Amino acid sequence: MNGRAVGRMVGVGRALGSRLVTNDDLAEHLDTDDAWIVERTGIKQRHFVAEDEDCATLAISAAKHALDHAGVPGDSVDLVVCATSTAPESMPSVACLVGEAIGAAGVGAFDVAAACTGFSYGASVASSMLATGAAKRVLLVGADVFTKIVDQGDRATAVLFGDGAGAVVLDRGDGSSGFLDHILGADGRMAPLGRAGHPGQSDHKLCQNGREVFKFASRIFPDLVEKLLARNGVSPDEVQYVIPHQANARIIHAAARRMEVPEERIVLNVDRFGNTSAASIPLAYPDIYESFETGRYVVTVGFGFGLTWAANLYRI
């Protein structure tokens, strides 16, 4: 299956909620402390949106940064895809607002909802649209503001999540660099393991079975990497980076012990950003993009509520 790659990444960008919140800040109003949070999650700080920010404002900001980085105008984009579960309103989609804000009103725009797996799902949709020729340049955004759906008085969940958005500009490319393969999965029988209402819905805040989600994620993450590499004939040595969804550093360390890819090539930023759901994978790109080595591979792995899971193989 290691053939023509499609969806070359030509620009990356990100935006974070403007309020930096440390563990000590949370401990001022929650029965928790820095030591517990760091030991159980690896999180040291996260960013929360301010009053005048939401999922759409972060998505727009990340999109503009990605376009600037790519050096291309917004009106050159012919499809906008936004992965999110926390759009400020049910309608319009965040993607519609992003398209308008970047000067691409009139082109196709839609949201993809797969919780923390959203960006990986979105990458499969975006590269498929590029592969068919239905689009030539896609703006793919992952954006979530879980502060809007988490009970800030619940220490078991309030310490875990942060707000952010990451965006990539994907061109069709010449076949040498881009996405090669995707694995998508979902199992609604496990829906009770994590549920949340819409932003603004005060009587349905996020609740989860953290332990079961933890066990699931620690298992599915290395399984997906192994399966994706094996079916594409890619050896772990050829992988420059694995970017997993950033839910908990312990999940990443546990998975790393079961993988042949050395742990130093597994990207970890949950310490700085917390769990930003669909934003967590694209938030990583600005830190690593300039070090990409042509011909090597990036594997992205999402897992989250639904339950949902997905992995993408990208050749640099």
Q: What positions carry a catalytic annotation?
A: 116, 245, 275
Per-residue tokens: 190: 């496990």
The DSSP secondary structure of 216-269, one letter per residue, reads: HHHHHHHHHHHHHHHHHT--GGGEEEEEE--S-HHHHHHHHHT-SS-GGGB---
The full 3-state SS of 5-27, as one line of letters, equals CECEEEEEEEEECCEEEEHHHHH
For residue 169, the cross-strand partners are 11, 139
Instruction: Please report how close the Cβ of residue 108 comes to ligand ACO at its closest, in angstroms.
Output: 26
Instruction: Please report how close the Cβ of residue 156 comes to ligand ACO at its closest, in angstroms.
Output: 4
Chain-centroid distance, C-alpha 19: 20
Instruction: Please report how close the Cβ of residue 249 comes to ligand ACO at its closest, in angstroms.
Output: 9
C-beta of 67 vs 310, nearer to ligand ACO:
310
C-beta of 169 vs 243, nearer to ligand ACO:
243
C-beta of 127 vs 308, nearer to ligand ACO:
308
Instruction: Please report how close the Cβ of residue 36 comes to ligand ACO at its closest, in angstroms.
Output: 4
Closest residue to ligand ACO, judged by C-beta, is 304
- Name the site residues for ligand ACO (rule: CB under 6 A): 32, 36-37, 40-41, 115-116, 155-156, 159, 194, 208, 210-211, 213-214, 217, 247-248, 275, 277, 304-305
C-beta of 124 vs 280, nearer to ligand ACO:
280
Other beta carbons within 10 angstroms of residue 21's beta carbon come to 18
> Which strands, in side-by-side order, build the sheet including 297-304?
178-186, 308-315, 297-304, 239-244
Closest to 210 (Cα-Cα) out of 256, 251, 266, 164: 251
